[in-house]
Amino acid sequence: MDENTGGLAGLFAPERVAVIGATESEGSIGRAITQNLQADFAGETVPVNPNYDDVLGLKCYPDIDDVPGELNLAVVVVPPKIAVEAVRQCGEAGVRNVVVITAGFGETGSEGASREQELTEVAAEYDLNLVGPNSLGVMSTPTGLNATFGPENALSGSISFMSQSGAFITAVLDWANDEGIGFKDVVSLGNKAVLDETDFVEAWGDDPDTDVILGYLEGVEDGAEFIESARRVTDDTPIVMVKSGRTEAGAQAVSSHTGTLAGSEQAYEAGLEQAGVLRVENVQELFDFAQILSGQPIPESDDVAIVTNAGGPGVMTTDAVGDSNLSLASFSDETLSELSEAMPEEANIYNPIDAIGDADIERFERALDIALADENVGCAVVLSAPTAVIDFDDLSEVITDLQAEHGKPIASVLMGGESTESAREVLREGGIPNYFDPARAVRSLDSLSRYREISQREYEAPEKFDVDRERAREVLERAEERGDNRLGVEAMDLLSAYGIPTPEGTIAEDPEQAVAAAQDIEGDVVMKIVSPDILHKSDIGGVKVGVSPEDVYDAFEDLVTRARNYQPDADILGVQVQEMVDLDSGTETIIGMNRDPQFGPLLLFGLGGIFVEVLEDTETRVAPVSEREATEMVDGIRSAPLLRGARGRDPADREAIVESLQRLSQLVTDFPAILELDVNPLVAGPDGVQAVDVRLTVDTDELEES
Ligand code: ADP
Ligand code: MG
């Protein structure tokens, strides 16, 4: 059995389950769990409680030690003060799987938090698969296991479902049971002291009885680990998730503008997308997607045929297709001629096919059959309003049969109330979802197509460039020497060490040095104040563009005066004298990174300069990124056409931007001590890029460790 649910077979398919803290007392959790187990569980339920000889007719043992024979799973419901000890005894007694229902751990303040810490340590000591604490429990329908204190057991099915909220599970089951939606396994994750979403993604990815993995999450424990596991699993098992709630603002200070743009929500969006998770916004979509993914095949193409007897809803469906990633199929000539033979003259044989209101079941069947046979059709929406000549029961049989015959996915829209009830039953048995709203049908089909893209993704390893890691470390160490964790343009050579092109530049400490530096540079120069206390140099007049050699001396003094006026005690390191970069033929872009507490380094790309804040037109990905992901970032912003040379401009060197992103990705992956970093602007010209400004924050303690 072990290969079925990975290493968690004992958790979901145990033969004997102990309930530690079983009791008969009315309204207690210990009673509810014992009763739920008694109701459907194929294996043996063993109550443990020193105060009883038997519980609900089952022999009760004082201690887990006293139970003869092997136990695969223990459910712990004792009060918080003795729960950790109870888990330890489970470990001692050789029980490998433990579900801790007991609350009063990390969710309740510092005493609870240290209790949870102890629990984690005990679990590690005995190598326990531990669910919870503060969990509603687990369910697994093949063995009838209901080790929860919820009011209802699940129906059997092929969806496995994890939730960070126990209450949400009871609500979902209540509704799913009405809808006839079944589950393979259900887990209430609780506080995730040991087992978390990644463990269940892995276990269910290896489980042949799980067709779809569903999750309701408030956070992901370890983003990088999750991405790695989910990437593998989504090759053949779709994962659909709602992510609600916000993560902690993060341990590090996120100070710059881009830091706030690349907040945690963006990390989830990017991370879950890179993991291949179909992220949904609401509960309805969670189950719409789950149902169609578990019931219908994946379409080979995104071309939809619409077959209806009602013009209006047909148009609504067409609009919904327009809003989705799908497209309206254009029928082959053969299909059109077959349809024109089969349909009355008033009918519309072009997609959407309108068989019109007097269509009987034969006409409907003919239309759908012809449409599905067309190789330009990947999937279909069948719509019907109630009419005197069509019987929904007959129609549901036709839809189910033709779906099975052609092997193309169908979503049906039998529009009505009670009149659709038995038809929906037939459709459900054929794995075909039915909706009142055509837009839902289209979105569901769209999820199949999105999953096809995900399942076909080939993982591409990030490129490793030949870089000067030692020199980069030296630059970062300067922050430490200065006792400041912020670095600015004086750290430009950090970028050159990683092969990101920068214009020639020097930090001058006095006007004479500035003049000398300018002499080494051809033509006019740019001069910038260099101070960790001045984050936005141009805001205080701290950047002078196009300074001619004879003005350099005065410009130096002027810049320093301005900085002093702005902040008298500012730590001024000098003035940077930098080569001019041609801004007329280039576009100011930004590449940056912000470290997320869950997902780690989050890369950002967007238009630079003032645009970054005004337009919020950025793309983010969790680093390290592959070349493909970096390319997607560059092509993904709304203003991408600007880079491709809109309005007669020369196109920007996109490959050079992509490469800079990959190199930045390598830099921030190599140095976890870099907390955030912006290159703004990275000027993207027709022949290459130039990083003209940089700002970063370094965790100097971390630098010592790495
Ligand atoms: P800050 O972002 O702190 O104000 P920057 O170094 O980014 O300082 O400079 C502000 C702006 O000045 C840039 O967005 C760019 O338009 C211009 N600029 C800066 N350096 C150069 C340069 N070397 N060549 C041409 N323009 C520059
Ligand atoms: Mg800047």
Neighbours of 180 (CB within 10 A): 13
Please write the tens of the pLDDT for every residue from 346-383.
999 999 999 998 999 999 999 999 999 999 999 999 99
Would the CB of 538 count as within 6 Å of ligand 1?
A: yes
Would the CB of 496 count as within 6 Å of ligand 1?
A: no
Spell out the residues 6+ positions from residue 380 whose beta carbon is closer than 8 angstroms to its own. Answer: 304, 305, 306, 307, 368, 371, 372, 408, 409, 410, 411
Residue 705 has what pLDDT? Answer: 67
Mean of the per-residue pLDDT values of the chain: 92
Per-residue pLDDT band for 266 (boundaries 50, 70, 90) equals: confident
Task: Kindly give the distance from the C-alpha atom of residue 679 to the centroid of ligand 2, in angstroms, as a whole number.
Answer: 7
Would the CB of 366 count as within 6 Å of ligand 1?
A: no
Q: CA 413, 415, 418: angle at the middle one, nearest 5?
A: 120
Would the CB of 619 count as within 6 Å of ligand 1?
A: no
Q: Residue 505: nearest ligand to its CA?
A: 1
Residue 577 structure tokens = 């004298």
Burial code of 207-239, b = ≥16 C-beta within 10 A, e = fewer?
bebbbbbbbbbebbeebbbbbebbbbbbeebbb
Query: Is residue 119's pLDDT more than 70?
Result: yes
State which ligand 1 atom lies nearest to the alpha carbon of 535: 3
Residue 370 has what pLDDT? Answer: 98
Q: Biggest alpha carbon distance in the chain?
A: 99
Q: 12: exposed, middle or buried (C-beta count within 10 Å: 0-12, 13-18, 19+)?
A: buried
Would the CB of 692 count as within 6 Å of ligand 1?
A: yes
Please write the tens of the pLDDT for every residue from 578-625.
999 999 999 999 999 999 988 999 999 999 876 677 778 899 999 999
Q: Which of 528, 559, 575 to mutate to test the pocket of ligand 1 (most atoms within 8 A of CB)?
A: 528
Q: Residue 537: nearest ligand to its CA?
A: 1
Listed residues: CB within 5 A of ion ligand 2: 680, 693
Angle between helical axes of 392-406 and 361-373 (0-180°, round to 10): 20
Q: Confirm if 200 and 174 have CB atoms less than 8 A apart.
A: no
**DSSP three-state, residue 280:** strand
Angle between helical axes of 654-670 and 469-482 (0-180°, round to 10): 60
Residue 259 has what pLDDT? Answer: 36
Q: Confirm if 581 and 492 have CB atoms less than 8 A apart.
A: no
Residue 265 has what pLDDT? Answer: 82
Task: Kindly give the distance from the C-alpha atom of residue 527 to the centroid of ligand 1, in angstroms, as a whole number.
Answer: 9
Task: Kindly give the distance from the C-alpha atom of residue 682 to the centroid of ligand 2, in angstroms, as a whole number.
Answer: 9
Question: Closest by alpha carbon to 150, among 161, 408, 159, 591?
Answer: 161
Task: Kindly give the distance from the C-alpha atom of residue 462 to the centroid of ligand 2, in angstroms, as a whole number.
Answer: 28
Q: 648: exposed, middle or buried (C-beta count within 10 Å: 0-12, 13-18, 19+)?
A: exposed
Total residues found in the chain within this entry:
706
Spell out the residues 6+ positions from residue 216 whose beta carbon is closer than 8 angstroms to its own. Answer: 161, 162, 163, 164, 165, 168, 241, 242, 244, 283, 286
State which ligand 1 atom lies nearest to the alpha carbon of 505: 23
Question: Closest by alpha carbon to 74, among 59, 91, 61, 57?
Answer: 91
Full-model pTM: 0.91
State which ligand 1 atom lies nearest to the alpha carbon of 542: 4
